[in-house]
Amino acid sequence: MLKILSKVLGFYTMTHAIFSPSSSDRWFECPASAYLNYSAEYTVNIAAATGTLIHEMCEMLLKGRLKDITLEEYWLGKVVDIEDFQIEVTEDMVKCAETYVEYIFKRKEELNATMVIEEKVYMDEISDKCFGTADCILIAEDRICVIDLKSGKWPVEAVKNKQLKIYAIGAFLRYGDQNADITIEMTIVQPRLKNAIKTHEISSPNLMHWADTDLKQATDACDEENPQRAAGDHCRFCAAKADCDEYKSKLGDKYG
């Protein structure tokens, strides 16, 4: 059944990736979760909606849409309808956006780089069901930077970050020289933490080796006729856990 679904959904008719970079920690561990979550009813919580709003604020700054007015003057105190929530813009949200944007402009100037914002990246060489939108890509002469904003307080690391690696693969395939050995710089900007900037570097050959091995094996496993189910901490935000016997038998009702 899953194979049939994958064929019907092909040819980029998907608005969201089946193998979503943001949930890669889950489908790497539990291949069955990829299709199960893709077909589940879409829900969003207030934290995710707030993150979307902060990203919109960042985009206004990065694209120079504010003229003769600061981000705080424009946004602070506004109540915005987003998803199913009404969210009031706070000073903390404004500072979060400003910190992220300041880092990008600083790095762009240091590298004399070209900046690309909210760019959808693909990796058809690995799987046409694996794609996503990178918050920011900086393209320099011998370096590509992938910068991701995290607006929450749960610490996210840049090292061994599968989501960042997948974005970086898509960025390199689109903007990099496939025959060159360049540095791929992957950065998490998480302004609400004391250690707000975290960066990890990898060479493009090593990144593409990971793509051809670990990532390809993971997407292939998801595409099997009866993909494996595996329970663990990655089940926390899985939309299918309520109907998953593997989850119930291994973890009971740990994550509600």
pLDDT tens by residue, 201-221: 999 999 999 999 999 999 999
The pLDDT value given to residue 4: 33
Which residue is associated with the tokens 């003057």?
A: 73
Which domains are seen in the chain, by residue range?
A: 44-225 (3.90.320)
Q: Is the dihedral of CA 213, 141, 122, 62 positive or negative?
A: positive
Other Cβ atoms closer than 10 A to 97: 26
Q: What's the gap between Cα 131 and its chain centre? A: 10
> Residues of the chain whose pLDDT is less than 50?
1-13
First to last CA, the chain: 28
The pLDDT value given to residue 12: 40
Asked whether the beta carbons of 229 and 188 are under 8 A apart, the reply is: no
pLDDT tens by residue, 142-192: 999 999 999 999 999 999 999 999 999 999 999 999 889 999 999 999 999
The pLDDT value given to residue 5: 37
pTM value is 0.91
Bridge partners of 132, per DSSP, are 121
